């Protein structure tokens, strides 16, 4: 009998599989397809202080072994999320949920996190300082250790729940940024967000995406994500949540051996809405295949 349970920042999960923000809505949409309580938890759609329509269309471009998106954090704003989305989410999901937060200023991050911190069902605050699809926010905080640390300190000052900083791969030294976040009080680190990419339509000779560039995700980025999870988990002592191109139970095991305490599944949910469920169901057999009796025992064993 294998043990799939893991602990993330003091909260126990039935398994380490977490659908990533932006690929799972607010949960209840997927609850129409299957019982989402089979998941460890999920990170709901990126939430900002004010409502956002997002970027102009087209926002999506397909590519080999992945996709590019430039949705631009479309969401109804934190007050509407608390008033409308969380009550519906609560009817479909009985476990603590991960709240994903973005901002355009340090004050934005603190304001939004302070409100979500009061919500009973929110277990963790995943603070996104790494979105490549918006101008003047998101990734601009995550590419500089001092800026990432400033956001971390501001959020920690107004919250009691675990704060996990979500980092960008579009940097020279991601471990340095992770260390800065840990030193500023972060309870965990999640990575990676999407790589910056683009496509050009040979017929029009113009970029496919209206925003020109967007976030590249999917199986093609898995080796890069795995490398960065390995580097960061060696550099910090707080838990790491690994993501980036995860598409199978074997990928989950590999991410955990690289140092991840839990693993997020992103683009694969858009390819197959049952992807996260299938990974949860396949995990015990994959563990038996590789002689793993407890997932917590393999965290960081590749180091």
Q: Is 131 a catalytic residue?
A: yes
- When mean pLDDT is compared across 13-17, 72-76, 225-229, 261-265, the lowest value belongs to 72-76
In a domain, 219, yes or no: yes
Q: In the chain, pLDDT over 70 holds for what percent of residues?
A: 97
Catalytic pick from 9, 63, 113, 131?
A: 131
CATH number of the structural domain spanning residue 59: 3.20.20.70
Radius of gyration of the chain (CA): 18
Q: Which residues of 5-19 are buried (b: 16+ CB within 10 A; e: fewer)?
A: ebebbebebebbbbb
Domain assignment of residue 22, given as a range: 6-298
Q: Give the chain's domain count.
A: 1
Q: What are phi and psi of 13, to 5 degrees?
A: -115, 145
Q: Record the pTM.
A: 0.95
In a domain, 1, yes or no: no
- With CA atoms as reference, report the closest residue to 113 among 74, 154, 80, 73: 154
Tell me the pLDDT tens digit for each residue of 161-181: 999 999 999 999 999 999 999
In a domain, 303, yes or no: no
In a domain, 25, yes or no: yes
Residue 131's pLDDT band, with cuts at 50, 70 and 90, is low
Token match 């977490």: residue? 18
In a domain, 31, yes or no: yes
Average pLDDT for 42-59: 94
Average pLDDT for 52-74: 91
């Amino acid at each position: 009998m294998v043990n799939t349970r893991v602990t993330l920042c003091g909260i126990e999960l039935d398994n380490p599989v977490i659908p990533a923000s932006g690929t799972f809505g607010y949960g209840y949409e997927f609850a129409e397809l299957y019982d989402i309580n089979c998941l460890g938890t999920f990170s709901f759609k990126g939430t900002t202080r004010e409502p956002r329509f997002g970027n102009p269309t087209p926002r999506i471009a397909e590519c080999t072994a992945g996709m590019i998106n430039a949705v631009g954090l479309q969401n109804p704003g934190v007050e509407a999320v608390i008033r409308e989305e969380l009550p519906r989410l609560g009817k479909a999901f009985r476990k603590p949920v991960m709240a994903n937060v973005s901002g355009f200023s340090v004050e934005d991050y603190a304001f939004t996190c302070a409100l979500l911190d009061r919500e009973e069902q929110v277990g963790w605050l995943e603070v996104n300082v790494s979105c490549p699809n918006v101008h003047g926010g998101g990734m601009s905080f995550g590419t500089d250790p001092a800026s990432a640390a400033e956001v971390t300190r501001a959020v920690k000052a107004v919250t009691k729940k675990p704060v996990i900083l979500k980092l960008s791969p579009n940097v020279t030294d991601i471990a340095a940024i992770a260390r800065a976040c840990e030193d500023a009080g972060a309870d965990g680190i999640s990575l990676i967000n999407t790589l910056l990419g683009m496509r050009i339509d040979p017929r029009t000779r113009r970029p496919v995406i209206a925003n020109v560039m967007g976030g590249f995700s999917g199986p093609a980025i898995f080796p890069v994500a795995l490398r960065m999870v390995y580097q960061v988990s060696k550099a910090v002592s707080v838990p790491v949540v690994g993501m980036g191109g995860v598409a199978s139970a074997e990928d989950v095991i590999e991410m955990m051996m690289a140092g991840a305490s839990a693993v997020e599944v992103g683009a694969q949910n858009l390819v197959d809405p049952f992807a996260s469920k299938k990974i949860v169901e396949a995990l015990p057999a994959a563990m038996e295949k590789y002689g793993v009796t407890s997932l917590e025992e393999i965290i960081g064993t590749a180091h």
